């Protein structure tokens, strides 16, 4: 049995219904969808994403990324994206694996291996597609197999996850992974600005503070930020605000004006205009549509 067939079997065995499932292994989640989905706005965090059956596409800014069992996706920074399952059916559901990246462990491993990045690749976006490799697939299989042996997870899972990071650092996509691991790389500097923006998105945006946090001069900061995230700092802030407002309205049943105020909007009309621009419908219509969708399709 190939490692891909093994992964399909293991994901199927450990997803008893449709949706996204956390597992007994920290940072490992399994995904199962029985049908193609609508485009969904969400925030991706640093992770290794593998499709083992079906296909998916992600839009970042104006760029489209399609991946399937032949490729895997690396998310290197927090990114507001539009995600869509494009190939799935009840007979052959979409199956995927997400392993959140431990950036501290990645940096520690890069130091131990004495790896140094070559030319800084900050011009590349925060999403990267790579050809699936036998070495990464085999290590992921062994991680999944630990779900059948929960008593072994505390001892063996950290070792296997470290091996996966090692395979990523020395594999075909190593140059980009190494940019994540090295603290002084431009990507890591942009990541610092993103962390500050993510923690303070409700407050007025001060780009000069973000640039200072990143250690990049203001004249270059806008360019580098957009190269990584596909959007300007202001667009990024708006995406965070509007996604959080949508979550508040959907999950806590807040009205649009209250949700908008909670995420930093002082003008309800401005909030509604920008909400419709991002999601394609004003809040009331958009929420009515979302509430009519199966819950597992809203989970990402």
- 240 Cβ neighbours under 8 A, 6+ residues apart: 43, 80, 197, 198, 201
- Paired tokens of 87: 């190939």
In angstroms, the CA 7 to CA 169 distance is 22
204 DSSP assignment: P
Looking at residue 114, its pLDDT comes to: 86
150 DSSP assignment: G
| Rounded mean pLDDT, 47-75 | 96
pLDDT at 118 over 80: no
pLDDT at 119 over 70: no
Per-residue model confidence as pLDDT tens digits over 242-296: 999 999 999 999 999 999 999 999 999 999 999 999 999 999 999 998 888 765 5
Looking at residue 224, its pLDDT comes to: 92
Share of the chain above pLDDT 70, in %: 94
Alpha helices (runs of H) in the chain, residue ranges in sequence order = 3-13, 103-112, 134-145, 153-170, 174-181, 186-199, 207-214, 218-229, 233-252, 256-262, 268-279, 283-291
| Rounded mean pLDDT, 180-190 | 81
Looking at residue 179, its pLDDT comes to: 80
- Tell me the longest C-alpha to C-alpha distance in the chain: 59
Closest C-alpha among 185, 187, 186, 168 to residue 177 = 168
**What structural domains does the chain harbor?**
3-181 (2.60.120), 235-298 (1.10.10.60)
* pLDDT bracket for residue 117 (50, 70, 90): low
| Rounded mean pLDDT, 54-71 | 95
Residue 159 CA from chain centroid, whole number: 23
pLDDT at 56 over 60: yes
Is the CB of residue 55 less than 8 Å from the CB of residue 87? yes
What are the respective helix, strand and coil percentages of the chain, to the nearest 5? Answer: 50, 20, 30
Q: What is the mean pLDDT of the chain?
A: 91
| Rounded mean pLDDT, 81-94 | 96
* pLDDT bracket for residue 228 (50, 70, 90): very high
In angstroms, the CA 258 to CA 156 distance is 47
Task: Tell me how crowded residue 297 is: count the other CB atoms within 10 A of its CB.
Answer: 18
Which pTM value belongs to this model? 0.90
Per-residue model confidence as pLDDT tens digits over 29-46: 999 999 999 899 999 999
* pLDDT bracket for residue 148 (50, 70, 90): very high
- Residues 255, 259, 260, 266, Cα dihedral to 10°: 90
In angstroms, the CA 205 to CA 208 distance is 9
């Amino acid at each position: 049995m190939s490692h891909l067939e093994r992964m399909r079997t293991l994901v199927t065995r450990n997803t008893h219904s449709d949706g996204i499932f956390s597992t007994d292994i920290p940072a490992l989640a399994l995904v199962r969808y029985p049908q193609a989905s609508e485009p969904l706005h969400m925030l991706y965090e640093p992770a290794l994403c593998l499709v083992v059956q079906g296909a998916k596409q992600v839009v970042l800014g104006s760029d489209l990324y399609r991946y399937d069992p032949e490729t895997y996706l690396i998310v290197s920074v927090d990114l507001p994206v539009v995600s869509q399952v494009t190939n799935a059916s009840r007979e052959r559901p979409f199956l995927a694996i997400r392993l959140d990246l431990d950036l501290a462990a990645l940096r520690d491993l890069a130091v131990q291996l004495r790896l140094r990045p070559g030319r800084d690749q900050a011009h590349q976006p925060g999403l990267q597609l790579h050809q699936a490799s036998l070495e990464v697939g085999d290590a992921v299989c062994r991680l999944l197999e630990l779900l059948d042996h929960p008593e072994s997870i505390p001892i063996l899972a950290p070792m296997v996850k470290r091996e996966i990071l090692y395979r990523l650092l020395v594999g075909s996509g190593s140059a980009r992974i190494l940019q994540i691991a090295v603290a002084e790389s431009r990507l890591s500097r942009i990541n610092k600005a993103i962390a500050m923006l993510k923690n303070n998105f409700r407050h007025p945006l001060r780009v000069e503070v973000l640039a200072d946090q990143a250690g990049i001069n203001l004249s270059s900061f806008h360019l580098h930020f957009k190269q990584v995230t596909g959007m300007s700092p202001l667009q990024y802030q708006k995406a965070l605000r509007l996604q959080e407002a949508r979550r508040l309205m959907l999950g806590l049943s807040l009205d649009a004006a209250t949700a908008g105020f909670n995420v930093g909007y002082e003008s309800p009309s401005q909030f509604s205009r920008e909400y419709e621009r991002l999601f394609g419908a004003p809040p009331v219509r958009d929420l009515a549509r979302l509430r009519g969708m199966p819950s597992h399709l809203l989970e990402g």
